[in-house]
Chain A
Amino acid sequence: MSRTVPLRLEDRDLRQVDFLVSLGMYKSRSEALRELIRLGVKSLKGIFEVGEAVMKLEKLEKKEGDVPIKLKGALEQLLEERERFK
């Protein structure tokens, strides 16, 4: 399924899109923009993965009723390590 999205672009970005179209790499502005957005989203895969993991942590907290990160003994370890930097 595809939807129409109104989009406002800077002149310089549009010029670059038109340049790709003029080279014959894409048949139209629409096709060029679809492909460029797809590539952009793909390159941000890690960010989406992190975002989804944050949402899952929030869901886990709701399920468990507490922050799902438990670091037993971590404070003493941190304070001991700071001692090394005396």
Chain B
Amino acid sequence: MSYIDTSVIVAALDPSDRRRDQARRVLEGREDKFISELVLAELSSVLARREELKELASELGIREHLVLPAILIYLIKRFDLTYMKVNGLVGLPAIGELYSPMAFAVIWSTKLKLRTLDLFHLAYVKIMKDEGSPVRSILTADKEFQKAKEIMKKEIGVEVSLIE
């Protein structure tokens, strides 16, 4: 089972990117593929700013504000992705309760030393694993994740696989 970073889905939809074919192969593979709410949010942000969305809404005969959920559902179905929710709040000393991905980001930031969004993606993977999902790898087209490759393998037992 793999966690799919937003960059892989975007790469698969980007005809100008050299990673497109590999991203497509990964997404069309038979392995179980999971995404988080962060992937949905990032993907929505990318899609919402594309001019093509208006044309597509008109072509599909759908109101403009509904084209985005339609595309998300289509992509989830098309690439057989499973959205996985994470639960709960975690208490941090002297801070109080935080939503679990945020708490992980705070706790692990000094170990991982990643950019905020990368840190959040890894937080989701860690929490999914803690909640019992057999996540073996995180697939990404973002080379920044490589910085956390060793520590993710050693401390969380998850491979970081880069699509290049």
Beta-carbon contacts under 8 Å, A59-80 to B: 60-61, 67-79
A contacts with B: majority SS? helix
Complex CA gap A47/B103 in Å reads 34
* Contact yes or no, A71 B69, CB < 8 A: no
- Listed residue (A50, A68, A72, A77) with the most chain B CB atoms within 10 angstroms of its CB: A50
* Contact yes or no, A82 B118, CB < 8 A: yes
Set of chain B residues within 8 Å of A52, measured between Cβ atoms: 61-62
* Contact yes or no, B66 A69, CB < 8 A: no
Given contacts A75-B7, A85-B115, contact A54 B46 (CB under 8 A): no
Does B42 make an interface contact (CB < 8 A)?
yes
Does B1 make an interface contact (CB < 8 A)?
no
* Contact yes or no, A54 B77, CB < 8 A: yes
Complex CA gap A49/B13 in Å reads 24
Q: In whole Å, how far is A27's beta carbon from the nearest beta carbon of chain B? A: 36
Does A57 make an interface contact (CB < 8 A)?
yes
Does B90 make an interface contact (CB < 8 A)?
no
Beta-carbon contacts under 8 Å, B114-164 to A: 115-118, 141-142, 144
* Contact yes or no, B13 A70, CB < 8 A: yes
* Chain B 33-50 interface mask (CB, 8 Å, partner A; 1/0): 000000000100011001
* Contact yes or no, B60 A57, CB < 8 A: yes
Set of chain B residues within 8 Å of A33, measured between Cβ atoms: none
Residue from B10, B66, B69 in contact with A74 in the complex, judged by beta carbons closer than 8 Å = B10
A: residues with CB less than 8 A from B are 46, 49-50, 52-54, 56-58, 60-61, 67-79, 82-83, 85-86
B: residues with CB less than 8 A from A are 6-7, 10-17, 19, 42, 46-47, 50, 52, 56, 59-63, 66-67, 69-71, 73-75, 77-78, 115-118, 141-142, 144
Q: Which 5 A-B pairs have the closest CB atoms?
A: A53-B70, A85-B116, A53-B62, A57-B74, A53-B60
New A-B contacts (11) at CB < 8 Å, excluding given A58-B77, A70-B13, A82-B144:
A49-B62, A49-B66, A50-B73, A54-B70, A69-B74, A71-B10, A71-B14, A71-B47, A72-B14, A78-B42, A85-B115
